[in-house]
Structure formats: structure tokens, C-alpha cells
Amino acid sequence: MDIPKHLLFLAPFLLVVGGCGGESEPRTQEAAKQAEAGKTAKSLLDRSRAGSKAPTVEFLDPDGEKASLADFAGKPVLVNLWATWCAPCIAEMPTLDALAAREQGKLQVLALSQDMEGRAKVEAFFAEHRFKMLEPYLDPELGMMDALKVEILPTTILYDAAGKEVWRMTGVEEWNSDKAAALIAEASKG
């Protein structure tokens, strides 16, 4: 199969980012290997949409009720789009949980699952990993991915207290690092 030359430039980008694209769930045996490999994936910071208003798409909160980003107005929110089948997503979840604990009361960390298999799968994942601060929000219709034009998981987007995008990160990040703390602090500038 010949790949058009104009598409070849995408291959290095996808390898560097190391995220999960619209793929189906990996087999269970492969998931552990991919999670370990996901820990070394790189992230890519994108500020091209800074100032964009948060989408009004509804998703499900941990109680199964409809919610939207407007429900978090008045406080910065970090939205992490992830899935249980995405090895890089799994690799960064513990650091997101640590960030949520460190920033409690100052920043809402929203882990928004893009799994289409329902609440039971995501809740089982959360029970297995015993996160202290993260809660399972669900977007089974993938409305947020569509509204934000996200194609790779994990993608994490920081919104300021006014609901304006500050930046987005594609790929794995160490959310409990000094670098991440400096990036999160940008939500308070303005």
C-alpha cells in the first residue's frame, strides 16, 4: 500500500506524542505492556487555542447526572480526556491524582473518560487503582472530543476561572512535577 507523500509528515508527530488515536481496546495482555511503554511517551504543549471559550457539551458526573464545564465556573479546571484502553492515559493517571490532591480547593481536576462501554468499566478501573481525589466523569458519546477537535488521548486542557482555554497538552505529562505546577499557575495569570 502506498502512503501519499503529504501524509508522511504525520508519522513522526504521532510517534513523538505517543498518544492513543481512534483505536479499539487492546487485548488485556497487551495493556500492561503498553502502560509501561506509555510512561516514556512525550507530551506536546499547544497554546494555539488560548482564549477559546469552553464548550457547552454535556457529560456525566460521578453520580450519572448531566454536567458541563459551566458547572465549574469560578475556578480553574483541568480537563483530562482519557480512556481505560489507552496505555499513556493509564500511565499519567496517578500523577493527575497527585495534582488533584495538591491543588484541592484551587483547581478542579476533571478526568473525563472517553470509554464507550459504560460506567461499570470506568468504575472498575477507578476501584482497581484506588485514586484518592479523582472521580469518574464520563463522556460516552465522545461529545467533548468532537467539540474540542481532539484526536489523540490523553489530551489535557487547562481552563481559567472564566472558562477560557489557557493551553492543551497532548500525550503523557508528569502532572505532579514542577513543570506542571508552573503550567497550572498560568490559569491564575491574566
Q: Does residue 24 carry a pLDDT above 90?
A: no
For residue range 38-73, list pLDDT tens digits in order.
Answer: 444 578 999 999 999 999 999 999 999 999 999 999
Phi-psi region of 64 (alpha: psi -120 to 50; beta: other; left: phi over 0): left
Please give the class, per CATH, of domain 5-188.
Answer: alpha beta
d(CA 25, CA 81): 16
| Mean pLDDT over the full length of the chain | 84
d(CA 110, CA 100): 9
The position carrying cell 506536546 is 44
The residue ranking higher by pLDDT, 31 or 116, is 116
d(CA 72, CA 16): 32
- Percent of the chain at pLDDT > 90 equals 75
Mean pLDDT, residues 160-170 taken together: 97
Mean pLDDT, residues 171-190 taken together: 91
Tell me the pLDDT band of 22, cut-offs 50, 70 and 90. Answer: low
Of 2-6, 8-12, 153-157, where does mean pLDDT reach its minimum?
Answer: 8-12
SS3 (DSSP) at 148: helix
Domain residue ranges of the chain, discontinuous segments joined by +: 5-188
Q: How many residues does the chain have?
A: 190
On whether the CB atoms of residues 110 and 72 are closer than 8 A, the answer is yes
Mean pLDDT, residues 87-106 taken together: 96
On whether the CB atoms of residues 41 and 15 are closer than 8 A, the answer is no
Instruction: Tell me what pLDDT residue 21 has.
Output: 65
